[in-house]
Amino acid sequence: MNFFDYLKYPTEIINLILITFFVLILITPITTVAELQYRTWEAVAVLSLIQVFNSMMLMLLWWYLGKSKNLQRKEIDNSIRKKMYIRLTIIPSLYVISIGLSFISFNVAIIFPIVMIPSLILVAKAYR
């Protein structure tokens, strides 16, 4: 399920959302280095909030495409829409939990997002 499989042509709104998404992706390595260098809850919070915002941008793209029937190359089935929203909510949920864990233990907070990979695999298998 690729976003561009369903998109006929991009609009200005889609272009702005994608540019913002890619700029935040480019900032991610800088915040990751800061997180590991400073080892504080603030650094974890900044990185986590960037990842949450990125996930929200992806959800916004799918929502906008779902609402704009004239932009769709092919019909987006409700089951596909549900799968995408479920998969896209896992990442921000884990990063929000990571922010909470950073107040308790920095080491647990930076390792916790590794749970994301098995979580995404399990959800993909559950919602086939």
- pLDDT profile of the chain (128 residues), mean per 10: 78 91 92 86 90 92 87 83 86 90 88 83 81
- 106: closest CA among 38, 31, 54? 38
What pLDDT is stored for residue 1 in this prediction? 58
What pLDDT is stored for residue 114 in this prediction? 83
CB 91 within 8 A of CB 51: yes
Cβ neighbours of residue 43 closer than 8 Å, sequence gap 6 or more: 31, 34, 35, 36, 37
What pLDDT is stored for residue 53 in this prediction? 94
DSSP track, 6-18: HBSS--HHHHHHH
Q: How far is CA 112 from CA 48, 65, 83, 106, 115, in A?
A: 11, 32, 23, 10, 6
What pLDDT is stored for residue 91 in this prediction? 87
**DSSP SS3 for 72:** strand
Distance (Å, whole) CA 98 – CA 96: 5
